[in-house]
């Protein structure tokens, strides 16, 4: 299993540009989520999905869209990039096993918005 994969690893955008961060998992996990990691702030939940076709907002959803058309993929779209979206983005997947759920994180995408 490749686990959770993310592309690209690095990206530089200009303010106002749009882009999609890709996330895929091959573990057949029902849950997927996106976090951003900023210095001194830990990780914060952007959006999450509990299954194909079902998404919801996390703590910091503004400026981001998601969709979940398949179990495997959970792309994150930046509609109009802003410098405040400069961050490291982590995708995670998880499943509920007997009431215990563990999230597995991808390698991250480093995004710089100029």
Partner 1 sequence: AQSVSQHNHHVILSEAASLELGCNYSYGGTVNLFWYVQYPGQHLQLLLKYFSGDPLVKGIKGFEAEFIKSKFSFNLRKPSVQWSDTAEYFCAVNVNTGFQKLVFGTGTRLLVSP
Which residues of the shown chain bind partner 1 in the complex (CB under 8 A)? Answer: 31, 33, 35, 40-45, 48, 50, 58-59, 90, 94, 96, 99-108
CB nearer to partner 1: pick between 33 and 85: 33
- Give the shortest CB-103-to-partner 1 separation in angstroms: 6
- CB proximity list for 12: less than 8 A, separation 6 or greater: 111, 112, 113, 114
Number of other residues whose CB lies within 10 A of the CB of residue 54: 11
CB nearer to partner 1: pick between 17 and 72: 72
- Give the shortest CB-16-to-partner 1 separation in angstroms: 29
Would you state the structure tokens that stand for residue 8, as one six-digit string?
A: 């690209």
Are the CB atoms for 74 and 66 separated by under 8 Å? yes
- Give the shortest CB-62-to-partner 1 separation in angstroms: 17
Rounded Cα distance, 36 and 20, in Å: 14
CB nearer to partner 1: pick between 14 and 97: 97
């Amino acid at each position: 299993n490749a686990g959770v994969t993310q592309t690209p690893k690095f990206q530089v955008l200009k303010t106002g540009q749009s882009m999609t961060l890709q996330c895929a998992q091959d573990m057949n996990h029902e849950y997927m989520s996106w976090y951003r990691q900023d210095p001194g702030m830990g990780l914060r939940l952007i959006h999450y999905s509990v299954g194909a076709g079902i998404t919801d907002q996390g703590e910091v959803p503004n400026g981001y869209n998601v969709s979940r058309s398949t179990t495997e993929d959970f792309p994150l779209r930046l509609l109009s990039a802003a410098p405040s979206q400069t961050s490291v983005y982590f995708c995670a997947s998880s499943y509920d096993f007997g009431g215990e759920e563990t999230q597995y994180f991808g390698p991250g995408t480093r995004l710089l918005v100029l």
